[in-house]
Chain A
Amino acid sequence: MNLLLLILIPLFTAIAVLLMRNPQHIKWVALTGATTQFITALWLLLAYQNERAAGNHFQMLFEQRYNLFTSWHISFHLGVDGISTAMILLTAFVVIAGVLVSWKMTKMTKEFYFLLILLSLGAYGFFISLDLFILFFFLEIAVIPKYLLIGIWGSGNKEYSANKLALMLMGGSALVLVGLLGLYFNSPERTFDLIRLSEIGISTETQKICFPLLFIGFGVFTALFPFHTWVPDGHSSAPTAGSMFLAGISMKLGGYGCLRVATYLMPAGAKEYANIIIVLSSIAILYGAFTTLMQKDLKYMNAYSSVSHCGFVLLGISMLTKTSMTGAVMQMISHGLMTALFFAVIGMIYERTHTRQINEMSGLLKVMPFISTIFFIVGFCSLGLPGLSGFVAEMTIFMGSWEHPDAFHRIATIVACLSIVVTAVYILRAIGKTAMGPLKEGYANLTDASWNEKLAAVILVAGIIAIGCAPFWLNNLVGPDTQLIMQKILLTQ
């Protein structure tokens, strides 16, 4: 398995899209690229599991290294472990669904698909890079596509949202950058290599300075309270595929960074600041849930619930137990699939009814049985129905958190649990209002999902159910690597 494939396929797809003229061809090229990437990601999963089954105990598999900028000791170092394999799989799922959902895009098709693919390129690169400089490069590469996608194809107050998103994420990256430079200059040897840095260790003083910089920096990406304000505006202004990518992939970059860079490299720092983060993420979970309760717009509703759900990711990481971290990774995957599907469904409904206001719709189940069914499934996943991925992930986090016997952690866990009740309220209300009830006038001629929309939904639902019904494979995939991170934390005093 050559990891370069994961970067090269989107790159060539993007170039091919640029060279095409006919919008119809562009769509097919983009879909072909996304499908190839999807197959490659599945292949990666198989190859990874085969290697592990064959007893390969290296921390990172399929490593490759090319020297870049030798004078700064930067190398293009690639490799995957269980966590990154899972994240790549998630990205592939969301990308193919995103391409399918935006099949009817007519405004500047070429630019749209080019930017989408560039965005996915950034995510793939981010998850496979083991050199912090390259990682940062891929983190930042997505800024242009995000900004333009929202600003050009968005709706509502799109210029404002695009600006807010770009500036806040840039602020996050600035903190990440300073943190990375701190690591680079304060480690015994000047290197950006993740594995090397974790081997040689970083002094406790440096960790105390750099951990908050890196964690808050990455935290901005994953809606760490109080830096979450870009999420609602950005997500609700973006076009459907843009919201899917933002919530499904982009926010996960932050979570992955918090885990892989901040916590893994700086266990002492993580211990030092864990309590503060627990407080912040508990606030995000509860605050996000209650704010969602007040939303009347479906997209805003899902965006605020993303704040709440991503709070679980950070909570899981900062609880610092093996189970809770595994849960955090599962929550990233689960939330990525779920929220992408949610945005896709909202996009489908909006395309037909031309409204996103919950109060203005009713009885959709009668004319759009397929879309409404998907809406039910994704809603139930969001509120944590057993058998779907949301339950598995959140349950694992709670189990992990409960391992701490002291009152502080217990209270935080209970507070986080409370949000599930609130989630049930807003989800059931939204579904009930829109799908059930008498059919609204003028809705009789609305059509159900087309083939591309059905395909996109089925792919994502398959992912959600696969995790929900058989969580052990994800657990086995991710578990050994969270165990490694935990070991480092246990070793520090």
Chain B
Amino acid sequence: MNEMLIIMKSELLITIIIFLLLFIKLGKGMTNDSLLILVQFLMLLNFIAGFFFNLPGNLFDGMYHTGPLIAFQKNILNLGVYLISLLFADWFRKSEHLTEFFILLLSALLGMFLMISSGNLLMFFLSLELATIPVAALANFDLDKKKSSEAAMKFILSSAFSSGILLFGISMVYGATGTLSFELLPAQLNGNPLQVLAFVFLFAAFAFKLSIVPFHLWTADVYEGSPVAVTAFLSVISKGSVSFIFLTALYKVFQPMNELWYNMVMILSIATMITGNLFALRQQNIKRFLAFSSIAQLGFILVGISSNALEGTSSVVYFVLIYVFSNLAAFGVTSVISSRVGKENIDEYRGLYQTNPFLCWVMALALFSLAGIPPTAGFFGKLFLLTAGASKANYTFIIIAALNMILSLYYYLKVIRAMFMEKNEKPIEKIRLYPSVKLGMVICAIGIILTGLLSWVFDYIQSLH
């Protein structure tokens, strides 16, 4: 019993926080400001607690399993949620139902934790649903905006569709092999047509969740309509968690079908990078822009996934860690500007450097990191994904990926050019940042610079494997 408490401690901690918030809501309630401080504090504690007592173990007949790498992955997500609670204070303060917002957010996080830890396809499905449905409610949180409801509707419909595909795939897996356990499945896989079909369905469901081309069509609308905090959660935390379990699924469960999935990953990766980049080129709305750029980043993650288990896993986990810092910083700046002055167009960012140099430097660091330019950590992240991908010696693939970096640099530079170089008669006025937002941005900036330069971070991740 005690052992179970420790093994499941990350999930239990989140559950405790959820209940605490629920009691606060049932009682007298709190003002947004104090609630926000409480949540930030709790998430910080939760993040720190994530470093201790990470025992490996199996529970419930292998339904749930954890280990040092999984604990680290969960802690990356914890860090992300902590940063979200800091960075989007502007929007949180104005929000009417903040307690519910965090309850839903943390429920989704709980679902993700269980998903990363799942050792069985059924468990995976259940936790995936737990991770998805609250997010649909979150997407609807700008209650007075029509677009927000539209985003929620689109999200829930496409999620339901992909869940259907996933369940269909799972049932076929069961029919073809007679088991759903991750441990037992590999031995049963012999590559007969039914299994291949089942795998393709599972793969499609993953592709939906990761918004990999051609299953990406819901992404931009949902990102644009949702509140920025939710967009950030979707594009960083949700994508990160699904890519973690995707690693497990490919490397552990479907390893016998390696040749099959290598080709699928490669083709979809190329398609995703190119589509994401080409669409991002033309976006004017910064949220849509970041949405398409994050699709392209997912394509890059697939480059790393196409490698072998050790290098693929560590480079993807490392990249997601860096991605948390960079993308959240970019969304943080976007959120401050959109909730204070209501401007979301890249053109309206012109001349921002004259009035808000701090915001500009944070944004520039974030975008350079996303583009993969040193000394930011994104350089190391992208380089290691490419290095991992190159271990299969498929040079066409790597050259296409490297050329895509140029394409992505072009549109990231567009934003930087608007902020730093272009003249504007009436730039956005000086914004006084809340302390928590500033703290969040400083953490992100430090993370962007140091995660790469401190080389032991990567070595540590690799040692967890």
Q: Do A and B bind each other?
A: yes
- Which A residues are within 8 Å of any B CB, using their own CB? 68-72, 74, 133, 137-138, 140-141, 143-144, 147-148, 151-152, 158-159, 162-163, 166-167, 170-171, 174-175, 177-178, 181-182, 184-186, 209
- Nearest chain-A residue to B354 (Cβ)? A108
Contact B420 A151 (CB under 8 A): yes
**What 8 pairs between A and B have smallest CB-CB spacing?**
A174-B402, A68-B455, A181-B390, A151-B421, A71-B462, A141-B374, A69-B455, A170-B406
Q: Among A137, A141, A166, A177, which residue has its beta carbon within 8 angstroms of that of B402?
A: A177
B48 located at the interface, meaning its Cβ lies under 8 Å from any Cβ of chain A in the complex = no
Write the nearest CB–CB distance from B142 to chain A, whole angstroms.
Answer: 35
Give Cα distance in the complex from A144 to B421, angstroms: 13
List 6 other contacts, CB 8 Å, given A148-B416, A170-B409, A177-B383.
A71-B462, A133-B383, A147-B416, A159-B422, A166-B409, A177-B386
Q: Which residues of B contact A148 (CB under 8 A)?
A: 416, 420
Residues A185 and B390 in contact in the complex (CB < 8 Å), given A152-B420, A163-B417, A167-B406: yes
- With A and B bound together, what is the CA distance between A140 and B371 in angstroms? 12
Which B residue sits closest to A67, measured CB to CB? Answer: B455
Contact (Cβ within 8 A) A72 B384:
yes
Question: What is the CB-to-nearest-CB distance from A183 to chain B, in angstroms, rounded to a whole number?
Answer: 11
Kindly provide the distance from the CB of B52 to the nearest chain A CB, expressed in whole angstroms: 25
- Docked-complex contact B395 and A178, CB < 8 angstroms: yes
Contact residues in A for B413 (Cβ distance below 8 Å)? 147, 163, 166-167
Chain B residues within an 8 Å CB radius of A143: 373
Of the listed residues A140, A158, A186, the one surrounded by the most CB atoms of chain B closer than 10 A to its CB is A140
Chain A residue, CB-CB nearest to B462: A71
Chain A: minimal CB distance from B186 (Å):
26
* B323 in contact (CB, < 8 A): no
* Contact in complex: A69, B458 (CB < 8 Å): yes
Give the chain A neighbours of B314 by CB distance below 8 A.
Answer: 71
- Within the complex, which residue of A137, A151, A152, A163 is in contact with B379, where a contact is CB–CB below 8 Å? A137
Cβ contact of A162, chosen from B373, B384, B421, cutoff 8 A: B421
Query: Given the complex, which residues of B lie within 8 Å of A171, measured CB to CB?
Result: 403, 406
A174 nearest CB across to chain B (Å)? 4
- Chain B interface residue count, CB cutoff 8 Å, equals 32
Given contacts A140-B373, A177-B386, contact A185 B391 (CB under 8 A): yes
Which residues of chain B (357-400) have a CB below 8 Å from chain A?
A: 368, 373-375, 379, 383-384, 386-387, 390-391, 393, 395, 398-399
Chain B residue at minimum C-beta to C-beta distance from A69: B455
Complex: A171 Cα to B399 Cα, angstroms: 11
Q: How far is the CA of A101 from the CA of B27 in the complex (A)?
A: 69
Residue of B nearest to A138 (CB): B374
Interface centre among B386, B413, B458, B462 (most CB of A within 10 A): B413
Contact flags (1/0) for B419-462 with A, using CB distance below 8 Å? 01110000000000000000000000000000000010011001
Q: Are A71 and B458 in contact (CB under 8 A)?
A: yes
Q: How far is the CA of A151 from the CA of B395 in the complex (A)?
A: 34
A174 touches B374 (CB 8 A): no
Closest residue of chain A to B421 (Cβ to Cβ) is A151
Q: Is the pair A140, B374 in contact by a Cβ cutoff of 8 Å?
A: yes
Q: Are B373 and A174 in contact (CB under 8 A)?
A: no
Closest to A153 in B: B421
Q: A68, A137, A185: which contacts B393 (Cβ < 8 A)?
A: A185
Instruction: Give chain A residues whose Cβ lies under 8 Å from the Cβ of B383.
Output: 133, 177
B405 at the interface (CB under 8 A from A): yes
18 contacts between A and B (CB under 8 A): A71-B458, A71-B459, A71-B462, A74-B455, A141-B374, A144-B373, A148-B420, A151-B420, A166-B413, A167-B409, A170-B409, A171-B403, A177-B386, A178-B390, A181-B386, A181-B390, A182-B390, A184-B387
